[in-house]
Structures are given as C-alpha cells and as structure tokens.
A and B are shown apart, each in its own frame.
Chain A
Amino acid sequence: MTLETQKDVAEHPPYLAHHFKSMDQQTASGKLGMWIFMGQELLFFSGLFCAYGYCRFMYPAMITETQKYMDWRLGGVNSVILLISSLTMSLCVRSARVNNKSLSIKYLLATMFCGLLFLVIKGYEWATHFHEGLFPGRFYSPDAEVLISSHTAHVFFGLYYTITGMHGLHIVVGVGLMLWLLRRSLRGEFNSENYVSLENVSLFWHLVDLVWIFLYPILYLAK
C-alpha cells in the first residue's frame, strides 16, 4: 500500500461507500433515488384512485349505498394513528441528525408500534366485513341483515380490498424497513453525518400517510 493510499483510507469516513466521492454525494444520490421511487409510488396509487373515480362516476348510487358499511370512526382512529406515526418518524430522523441515538430509537419504536396498531384496526375492519359476507368480486354474498340492494356492490368491495390491501402492504414493508433501521440504530450507525437511510424510510412512511389522507375521505366520509 502506497503512502497516498494509506492516507486516503485514514481520511475515508466509515459509512462512505467506495463508489462515492464524499458523504454529501452519497446522501444526495440516495435521496434522488428515493424521490424517483416516490414518484413511481404516487403513479401506482393514482391508478387505484382512478379506478375508484371511474366506479364512482359510473355507479354513484351504489357507492353511496355501500359506503354506509364503512366505519368512519375506525377510519378516523387510523388516520390519527398514522398522523402520530408521521410525527414520530420525523422526530426520529431529527434526533439522529442531532446525534441523540437513544431518542431516535425510541421514536422509531413508537412509529413501528403505530404501524402495527393501524394494521390491527384495519384487520378488525376487514374481519367485520367478512363476517357480514361483504367479500370482493364473485365471492360477494351479503348476509340477510345487510341492506345493500345494488347489483354492482361487489365492484366497490373489490376496489376497497385492493386499495386498502395495497396500502396495508406498504405499511408492512415500512415496518419491515424500520426493523432493519432499528438493528442499524442499535449498532450506532446513524448520526449527523450518516442518516440518509433513516430519512429515505421516513419519506416512504410519509407517502403511506399521504395515501391514507386521501383514502380516508373518499372511502369513509364521501357520500
């Protein structure tokens, strides 16, 4: 090893990948990749929202009738839970940026807890619908107590399970990513210089919140 190479290794920040010139370049590249992915995610969900808009336009009376079976209180509780998780995720990144490792871990755990709580409530909602026979597509077979006369209600429930299912899947992925971040946080990998992974997962989590911000009014509150 030449003297110059030895000097380079000594000055090399521990978290800098070898294909980047500096930590700034590494952070900027990571964020750019994440924002492009976020754009793709937005377009992915826009297809589902457009399908819902189409359904609403074609069968307005059916949507009004079926939406009576959406529990706006549970949806509201889930909205508040996701909002709290967005706050804790932002505070987690902030804590890492000011080198407060223990607080960052606490906020990360709080965010994971909120994500899991959201899934439990969503699961309860789905179970209630299944109990009433409100299945999607050709499996739709409502109980006698269900007062939906529309012949196209199965279309709404197909969309409902697809949209909320994809959103739920994103929550599962988000919580999984946070588990990975937790492991790295416990090793003390994040600090004011190296926090781009935390920030990118935070962006993903805010996107999940953003999607729910629109899902809640259109699925639960609109008439």
Chain B
Amino acid sequence: MSNNNHEEQHLFSVKFYVKIFFILLVMIFMNMGISKLPLPNEWVTFLLLVVATTQAVIVSLFFMELIHEDKFYSFIWAGAILFMVLFFIITLFELNGRGAFDKMEDIHYMRSIDLNNNYAPSGPEMQQKSSPSPSVEEKK
C-alpha cells in the first residue's frame, strides 16, 4: 500500500496543475468546434467521444493522481472501466443483431410506430390514434 513519505516526493507543483487545467480547457473548446464541423453525425459523435475520453484519461492520471498512486487503485479503476465497456459492447451487439434471424424468416417485429402512427403493443404505452396493430406481422 501507499506510503506517505513516498507520496510527498510526488507532489505536483501548482504550475503543473494549472497547465493540466489549460489543456483540459482547450479540449472543451475543441469539442465545441468539432460539433460545428460539416461532417456526418456519426463522425461528429465519434470525434467528440475521442476528445472526451482523452480528457477523462488526463483527469484520472493527474487530477486523481493515479500516475503516482498505488497501482492497485489503477487496477480497481481499470476493472470498473472494463466492466463498463463490456456492458456497452454486449448491449450494442444485442441491439445491432436484434432480429437477425427474423429477417431470414421474413418476420417483422413492430417496436415503435408504424406509418399510421400506431404504437406497437410492445412499445411505449400511449394513447393509440387508430386501431391497434398486431405485435408480429408475418409477411409471406
């Protein structure tokens, strides 16, 4: 575990903290600039997240001082991030692959709203504007 005397050798200077602050500040303005770029939405979101992730790494390393803390704290933090990433990946894969077999079977599930503004029975419970639609439409 950490040793106080050991940590005191790694006390950042005020100047260093201010430098980190300005780097993070520039990155906030970079993100504002990126949002105005004439790029497709997906690319803008991707670039925004790249800058935000870089900011998060800088905050973790220098403001949270993981760079010179006991490596076990970094392990705990990295473990939480790993499970978070797994959580996102599994959810997004499920979303992306949802209905893959239905397409092969030519089955169409209604999950939101059809062209007549009918809410699917499995979708949000709201007042229906016309007759309810079946939950499964078999197109044959």
Q: A213 touching B55 by the CB < 8 A rule?
A: yes
Q: A86 touching B112 by the CB < 8 A rule?
A: no
Q: B91 touching A87 by the CB < 8 A rule?
A: no
Q: Which chain B residues (44-100) contact chain A, with CB distance < 8 Å? A: 44-45, 48-49, 51-52, 55-56, 59-60, 63-64, 69-70, 72-73, 76-77, 79-81, 83-84, 87-88, 91-92, 95-96
A interface majority secondary structure: helix
Q: What is the number of contacts between chain A and chain B, taking CB atoms within 8 Å?
A: 152
Q: B73 touching A222 by the CB < 8 A rule?
A: no
Q: Assess whether A147 is interfacial by the CB under 8 Å rule.
A: no
Given contacts A38-B80, A94-B14, A222-B35, contact A210 B60 (CB under 8 A): yes
Q: A214 touching B56 by the CB < 8 A rule?
A: yes
Q: A91 touching B17 by the CB < 8 A rule?
A: yes
Q: Which chain A residues (1-60) contact chain B, with CB distance < 8 Å? A: 23-25, 27-29, 31-32, 35-36, 38-40, 42-43, 46-47, 49-50, 53-54, 57-60
* Docked CA distance A91–B11 (Å): 11
Q: Assess whether B131 is interfacial by the CB under 8 Å rule.
A: no
In this complex, the interface size class of chain B, counting residues with CB under 8 Å from chain A, is: 35 or more
* Docked CA distance A40–B76 (Å): 10
Q: Which residue of A lies closest to B32 (CB)?
A: A76
Which residues on the A side are within 8 Å of B44 (C-beta)? 221-223
Q: A87 touching B17 by the CB < 8 A rule?
A: yes
Which residues on the B side are within 8 Å of A79 (C-beta)? 28
Q: Which residue of B lies closest to A205 (CB)?
A: B63
* Docked CA distance A195–B20 (Å): 22
Q: A54 touching B95 by the CB < 8 A rule?
A: yes
Q: Mask for A77-88, Cβ within 8 A of B = 1, else 0?
A: 001100110110
Q: B41 touching A222 by the CB < 8 A rule?
A: yes
Candidate in A39, A98, A192 with the most chain B CB atoms within 10 angstroms:
A39
For the complex of A and B, the 10 pairs showing the least CB-CB separation, nearest first, are: A28-B1, A39-B80, A221-B35, A217-B48, A46-B84, A87-B21, A42-B80, A35-B73, A222-B45, A223-B41
Q: Which A residues have a C-beta under 8 Å from some C-beta of B?
A: 23-25, 27-29, 31-32, 35-36, 38-40, 42-43, 46-47, 49-50, 53-54, 57-60, 64, 72, 76, 79-80, 83-84, 86-87, 90-91, 94, 97-98, 138, 151-152, 155, 192-193, 203, 206, 209-210, 213-214, 216-218, 221-223
